[in-house]
């Protein structure tokens, strides 16, 4: 299959060749007729073949040329036809002028060869004009085509091409077969002619242009028709187009369609503005519905709503005000002064309680608050339409449209405003949803950063030496938590251990926890006893904790040379201690108070230091209340006794194994994958 | 969680019913703040139906300790379940708050 550009080039070449051939052949035949003694032996049908070839070439040339132009507008198409016609006419008129004035009276004017050549130039141009017009008309006819219309057109087109064959049969103009074919083609043309949908889509200006162009095209067509009729009896010219049924038929069709287009366009002129109005409404509606996708902000949507409503209702002025309670201030005004707005507001307030006329239309369109339509007493504006814009049952603003005439807003107009309003509401809602989705995304991103920071706050390795093993496990309930554990090696044999819990959960707890870490690492370096540590930590943290926040913690100092432990408890859940020598497992009870509860020097009265000795096999289980307060589906807490039982059952295992047993026991108990609070354990076993 | 405040035989009683967690602790805070603003000299907290208290709830009680002391207002908690009382004890709040078993004991405490 040839590419369409190839076909276009090939057809123009073949058209030129056919035309040249036609000239030559006709000249020769003419010469034969004039000079009876000359026998050139050129058969008559050769002329018909070449003429048919010329017509078919042109037909396919324009067919493909127009097919490639997909994005056309109607006026542009008419313009093409007009230009083709103009060129043809100018050339033709020039030839006439040349014959009448330049060479008139001279011998040259009577020269058959010259006359014949000029005639052929003329018919070449006329055919080009007629065929291109025919194919442009095809494009117009088939605009918004139906299947039936397309079929009819194809029948018409193929009948036209088939009728070209008729010329090989000898005939006389308007004998019976000629008339039948002509009548058939013209009848089909008549059936097709009323397809003028394209005219509806022209705006006012385009319609005027079209009328002008069609008139000129008709003028050319008449001019050519007269020319052909004038030449029809000249036998010497051989190729007479008026006795050519196909050409005559489509010539008739072109004129018919041009006339019907002209009349319909003319009669459509007065209603154009209504059609344009409807089209604009559709476009505005589309703009409103797509405003979310195009990334417009809410103010632009309000503006669009106001403009669309104004143009749909032919309002003279309008304003839009946002509901101050929810959206801060915002006001869009169109062709109205603030002073007038105040006056109209006052007028509305005065009239409203007495005779507010709620339109029944609105309740049918939506269940929204109804639109108010009424006449007002104002020097300039006589009627008003008040539309409350609601998004998800929340009134976010009011649109007011004004007209200089009374009773200016009818039910149709109210319906349109409602439709616009509903669409604007949907767009605003979408806009908000999108906005909140973006914010949510940002929040999640921040949380993941907080999570990384939080993880870096907990130690990656724990300090220890050859006398003990230590392990820890912590799991926050959310991305970040408030549990804290850490170790610090004070000297070769001395270690500080801490486990703590910041009240609350989530980001604020994690923030306080980071302060706790700072306090621990500053104070643990100074070798102070646990009570002193708590007093100092209370003082430091008391200054930065919120009023209702507190921290609980247990602080241990382990001395592996003296084999002793000192500890203080600041309101933290008591740690479990197993003494191997006595086979005794118990909670380390002691006086204590959470950090931040009393934020003055009195705090030291509420805490104490405890000291005990440790031996091989002894075990210290530190944990946070996330473990003891974990609940099962029945609402029971894991509690101290269950924890003690799990440790007791695994008492001879290593620190890591005991930790695993605790976590497993906890998960088995709660029966759900998630534990509501942060939970942490740190387990220390002496070798 | 439900909070109700009643004046009973001259005693101002705030009753807590249900769980005090992060969100409901705000209501508890408001109830105590109201009692303080009303100029009550004694506030009794009925914890008979207090099922669970989170650290946020403890934070509410904690935050009033110094203010009540300064204004010479006595706050007495009564009717705590063993589990809830243990939560107060572990944190050490039992050293700072008046916690008794029954309503009568609580009333007695305020009249001392």
pLDDT for the residue numbered A650: 94
Higher pLDDT, A447 or B84: B84
pLDDT in the model for residue A13: 94
Phi, psi of A196 (to 5 degrees): -125, 35
The token pair at B102 is 């029954």
At A610-630, the pLDDT tens digits run 999 999 999 999 999 999 989
pLDDT band at residue A431 using 50, 70 and 90 as cut-offs: confident
Is B7 in a helix, a strand, or coil? strand
- Sheet containing strand A494-502, strands side by side: A483-489, A494-502, A551-559, A564-570, A610-613
* Chain A CB within 8 Å of residue B82 CB: no
- Nearest by CB to A547, which of B63, B83, B95? B63
Give domain B21-103's CATH superfamily: STAS domain (3.30.750.24)
| Coil, helix or strand at residue A465 | coil
- Average pLDDT on A654-671 reads 92
Q: Is B36 an interface residue toward A (CB < 8 Å)?
A: no
Q: Closest to A606 (Cβ–Cβ): which among B62, B90, B92?
A: B92
A109 pLDDT more than 70: no
B65 reaches A (C-beta below 8 A): yes
pLDDT(A236) > 70? no
Chain A hits for B26, CB-CB cut-off 8 Å, are none
| Per-residue confidence (pLDDT) for residue A70, from 0 to 100 | 62
pLDDT digits (tens, 9 = 90+) for A361-412: 333 333 345 688 888 877 788 888 988 888 888 888 889 999 988 888 888 8
Q: Where are the alpha helices (DSSP H) in A356-410?
A: 360-365
Of A486, A316, A330, A314, the C-alpha closest to A412 is A314
Alpha helices, DSSP H, located in chain B? 25-37, 55-71, 82-91, 103-111
- How sure is the predictor about A71, in pLDDT bands with cuts at 50, 70 and 90? low
- Of the candidates A520, A615, A630, the residue with the CA atom closest to the CA atom of residue A573: A630
Residue A272 structure tokens:
């154009």
Query: Looking at beta carbons, which residues of chain A come within 8 Å of B21?
Result: none
Of A551, A543, A528, nearest in space to A624 by CA: A551
Q: Could you read off the pLDDT of A514-544 as tens digits, one per residue? A: 889 999 999 998 888 999 999 999 999 988 8
Calculate how close chain A gets to B96, using CA atoms only, in Å: 9
Report helix, strand and coil shares of chain B as percent, to nearest 5. 45, 35, 20
A672: closest CA of chain B, how far (Å): 20
- pLDDT tier at A68 (50, 70, 90 boundaries)? confident
Mean pLDDT of A648-662: 94
- Between A428 and A10, the higher pLDDT residue: A10
What was the pLDDT predicted at A295?
A: 60
State the pLDDT at residue A129. 93
Q: Nearest Cβ partner of A606 from B22, B59, B95?
A: B95
Does A360 score more than 70 pLDDT? no
Residues of B within 8 A of A505 (CB-CB) are: 22
Label residues B67-98 b or e (16+ Cβ within 10 Å = b). ebeeeebbbbbbbbeeebbbbbebbbbbbbbb
CA dist A249 and A252 (Å) reads 5
Q: Do A503 and B55 touch (CB under 8 A)?
A: yes
3-state class (DSSP) for residue A525: coil
Give the per-residue pLDDT at A31. 81
Residue A366 has a pLDDT of 38
Phi, psi (rounded to 5 degrees) for A228: -65, -40
Distance, CA of A250 to CA of A126 (rounded, Å): 12
pLDDT band, residue B50 (cuts 50/70/90):
very high
**Residue B91: its chain A contacts at CB < 8 A?**
550, 552, 571, 593-594, 597
Q: How many CA atoms lie within 13 A of A298 on its CB side?
A: 21
Strand partners, A331: A321
Closest chain B CA to residue A595:
B91
- Paired tokens of A356: 């507010």
Residues of A in contact with B60 (CB under 8 A): 548
Among A400, A420, A133, which residue's Cα sits nearest to residue A285? Answer: A420
- Look at strands B11-20 and B42-53 and give their pairing: parallel
**What is the least distance, in Å, from the CA of B9 to any CA of chain A?**
32
pLDDT in tens, A546-583: 888 899 999 999 999 999 999 999 999 999 999 999 99
DSSP string over A311-362: HHHT-SEEEEEE-HHHH---EEEES--HHHHHHHHHHHHHHHHHH--B-HHH
At A69 the pLDDT is 65
Position of tokens 């009349």? A263
- Ordered structural domains, chain A, with CATH: 73-274 (no CATH), 291-435 (3.30.450.40), 458-686 (3.60.40.10)
How confident is the model over A415-427, as a mean pLDDT? 86
By residue count, chain B amounts to 112
Give the 3-state secondary structure of residue A397.
Answer: strand
E strands, A449-505, in order: 468-475, 483-489, 494-502
B91 touches chain A (CB under 8 A): yes
C-beta separation of A573 from B86 below 8 A: no
Helix (H, G, I), strand (E, B) or coil at A372: strand
Contact A550 B62 (CB under 8 A): yes
User: Is there a contact between B58 and A503 if contact means CB atoms under 8 Å apart?
Assistant: yes
* Closest CA relative to residue A250, chosen from A148, A171, A153, A120: A153
Q: What is the pLDDT of residues A210-227, one digit of tens each?
A: 999 999 999 999 999 998
Mutate to test the interface with B, among A508, A541, A589, A594 (most CBs of B within 10 A): A594
Give the ipTM of the model, two decimals please: 0.91
Cβ neighbours around A589 below 10 Å, total: 9
Taking alpha carbons only, the member of A233, A253, A59, A247 closest to residue A166 is A247
The residues of A whose Cβ lies within 8 A of any Cβ of B are 501, 503-505, 547-550, 552, 570-574, 591-594, 596-599, 606, 625, 637
Higher pLDDT, A479 or A257: A257
For tokens 């034969």, what's the residue? Answer: A32
Give CA angle at B17 (B11, B18), nearest 5°: 155
- Whether this prediction's pTM lies above 0.80 is answered by no
Contacts of A661 (CB under 8 A, 6+ apart): A646, A647, A649, A650, A653
Instruction: Please state, in angstroms and rounded to a whole number, the distance separating the CA atoms of residues A17 and A105.
Output: 34
Q: Could you tell me the pLDDT band of residue A126, with boundaries at 50, 70 and 90?
A: very high
- Looking at the partner chain, which of B56, B65, B66 has a beta carbon nearest the beta carbon of A504? B56
DSSP-assigned letters across all residues of A595-606: BTSS-SGGGGGG
pLDDT at A420 over 70: yes
pLDDT-above-90 percentage for chain A: 41
**CA distances for A566 relative to A264, A492, A577, A612, A613, angstroms:** 106, 17, 13, 7, 9
Enumerate long-range contacts of A281-290, CB under 8 Å, 24 or more apart: A281/A308, A281/A312, A281/A416, A284/A308, A284/A311, A284/A312, A284/A420, A285/A419, A285/A420, A285/A423, A288/A420, A288/A423, A288/A424, A288/A427, A289/A423, A289/A426, A289/A427
Shortest CB distance from B60 goes to which of A548, A573, A591? A548
A265-269, A274-278, A310-314, A336-340: range with lowest mean pLDDT: A274-278
Separation between Cα atoms, residue A119 and residue A96, nearest integer Å: 10
Query: Which of A548, A572, A606 minimises the CB distance to B62?
Result: A548
Interval A42-65 mean pLDDT: 89
Q: Are A506 and A478 in contact (CB under 8 A)?
A: yes
Average pLDDT in chain A: 86
Q: In B, which residues are within 8 Å of A597 by CB distance? A: 62, 65, 91-93, 96
Strand partners, A680: A474
Residue A576, φ and ψ in degrees, nearest 5 = -95, 135
- pLDDT tens per residue, range A448-484: 887 887 788 889 899 989 999 999 999 888 777 788 9
Residue A336 has pLDDT above 70, yes or no: yes
What pLDDT sits at residue A104? 67
For B21, nearest residue in chain A (alpha carbons):
A504
pLDDT above 70 covers a percentage of chain A that reads: 93
By C-alpha distance, the chain B residue nearest A573 is B90
Answer whether residue A598 shows pLDDT above 60.
yes
Closest chain B CA to residue A542? B63
d(CA A22, CA A30): 12
């Amino acid at each position: 299959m040839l590419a369409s550009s190839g076909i276009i080039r090939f057809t123009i070449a073949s058209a030129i060749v056919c035309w040249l051939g036609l000239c030559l052949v006709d000249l020769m035949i003419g010469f034969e007729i004039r000079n009876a003694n000359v026998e050139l032996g050129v058969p008559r049908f050769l002329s018909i073949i070449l003429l048919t070839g010329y017509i078919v070439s042109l037909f396919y040339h324009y067919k493909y040329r127009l097919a490639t132009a997909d994005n056309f507008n109607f006026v542009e198409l008419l313009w093409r036809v007009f230009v083709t016609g103009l060129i043809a006419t100018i050339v033709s008129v020039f030839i006439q002028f040349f014959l009448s004035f330049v060479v008139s009276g001279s011998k040259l004017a009577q020269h058959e060869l010259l006359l014949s050549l000029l005639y052929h130039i003329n018919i070449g141009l006329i055919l080009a004009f007629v065929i291109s017009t025919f194919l442009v008309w095809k494009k117009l006819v088939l605009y918004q085509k139906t299947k039936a219309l397309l079929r009819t057109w194809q029948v018409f087109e193929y009948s036209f091409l088939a009728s070209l064959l008729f010329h090989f049969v000898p005939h006389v103009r308007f004998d019976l077969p000629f008339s039948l074919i002509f009548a058939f083609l013209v009848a089909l043309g008549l059936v097709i002619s009323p397809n003028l949908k394209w005219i509806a889509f022209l705006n006012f200006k385009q319609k005027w242009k079209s009328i002008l162009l069609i008139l000129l095209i008709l003028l050319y067509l008449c001019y050519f028709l007269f020319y052909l009729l004038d030449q029809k009896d000249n036998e010497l010219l051989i190729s007479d187009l008026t006795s050519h049924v196909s050409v005559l038929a489509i010539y008739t069709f072109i004129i018919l369609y041009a006339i019907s287009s002209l009349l319909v366009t003319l009669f459509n002129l007065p209603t154009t503005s209504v059609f344009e109005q409807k089209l604009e409404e559709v476009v505005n509606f589309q703009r409103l519905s797509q405003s979310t996708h195009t990334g417009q902000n809410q103010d632009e949507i309000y503006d669009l709503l106001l403009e669309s409503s104004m143009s749909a209702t032919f309002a003279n002025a309008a304003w839009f005000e946002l509901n101050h309670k929810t959206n801060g201030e915002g006001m869009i005004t169109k062709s109205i002064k603030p002073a007038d707005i105040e006056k109209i507001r006052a007028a509305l307030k005065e009239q409203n309680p007495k005779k507010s006329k709620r339109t029944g239309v609105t309740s049918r369109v939506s269940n929204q608050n109804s639109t108010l339509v009424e006449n007002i007493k104002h020097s300039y504006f006589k009627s008003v339409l008040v539309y409350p814009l609601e998004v998800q049952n929340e009134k976010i603003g009011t649109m007011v449209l004004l007209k200089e005439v009374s009773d200016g807003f009818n039910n149709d107009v109210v319906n349109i405003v409602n439709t616009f309003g509903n669409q604007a509401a949907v767009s605003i809602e979408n806009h908000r949803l999108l906005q909140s989705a973006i914010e949510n995304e940002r929040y999640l991103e921040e949380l993941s950063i907080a999570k990384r920071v939080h993880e870096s706050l907990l130690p990656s390795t724990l300090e220890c030496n050859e006398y003990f093993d230590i392990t820890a496990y912590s799991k926050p309930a959310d991305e970040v938590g408030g549990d804290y554990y850490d170790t610090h090696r004070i000297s070769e044999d001395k270690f500080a251990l801490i486990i703590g819990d910041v009240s609350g959960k989530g980001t604020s707890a994690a923030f306080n926890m980071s302060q706790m870490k700072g306090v621990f690492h500053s104070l643990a370096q100074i070798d102070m006893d646990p009570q002193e540590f708590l007093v100092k930590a209370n003082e430091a943290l008391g200054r930065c904790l919120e009023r209702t926040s507190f921290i609980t913690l247990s602080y241990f100092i382990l001395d592996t040379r003296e084999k002793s432990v000192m500890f203080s408890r600041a309101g933290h859940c008591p740690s479990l201690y197993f003494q191997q020598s006595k086979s005794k497992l118990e909670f380390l009870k002691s006086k204590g108070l959470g950090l931040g509860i009393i934020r003055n020097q009195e705090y030291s009265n509420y805490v104490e230091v405890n000291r005990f000795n440790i031996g091989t096999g002894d075990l210290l289980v530190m944990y946070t209340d996330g473990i003891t307060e974990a609940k099962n589906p029945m609402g029971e807490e894991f509690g101290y006794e269950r924890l003690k039982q799990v440790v007791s059952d695994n008492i001879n295992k290593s620190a890591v194994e005991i930790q695993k047993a605790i976590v497993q026991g906890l998960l088995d108990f709660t029966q759900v994958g998630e534990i509501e609070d942060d939970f942490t354990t740190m387990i220390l076993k002496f070798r | 969680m439900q909070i109700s405040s009643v004046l009973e035989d001259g005693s101002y009683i705030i009753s807590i019913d249900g769980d005090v967690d992060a969100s409901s602790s705000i209501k508890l805070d408001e109830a105590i703040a109201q009692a303080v603003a009303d100029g009550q000299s004694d506030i009794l907290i009925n914890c008979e139906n207090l099922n669970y208290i989170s650290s946020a709830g403890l934070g509410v009680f904690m935050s009033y300790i110094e203010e009540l002391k300064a204004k010479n207002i006595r706050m007495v908690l009564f009717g705590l379940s063993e589990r809830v009382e243990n939560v107060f004890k572990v944190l050490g709040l039992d050293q700072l708050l008046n916690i008794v078993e029954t309503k009568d004991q609580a009333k007695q405490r305020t009249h001392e």
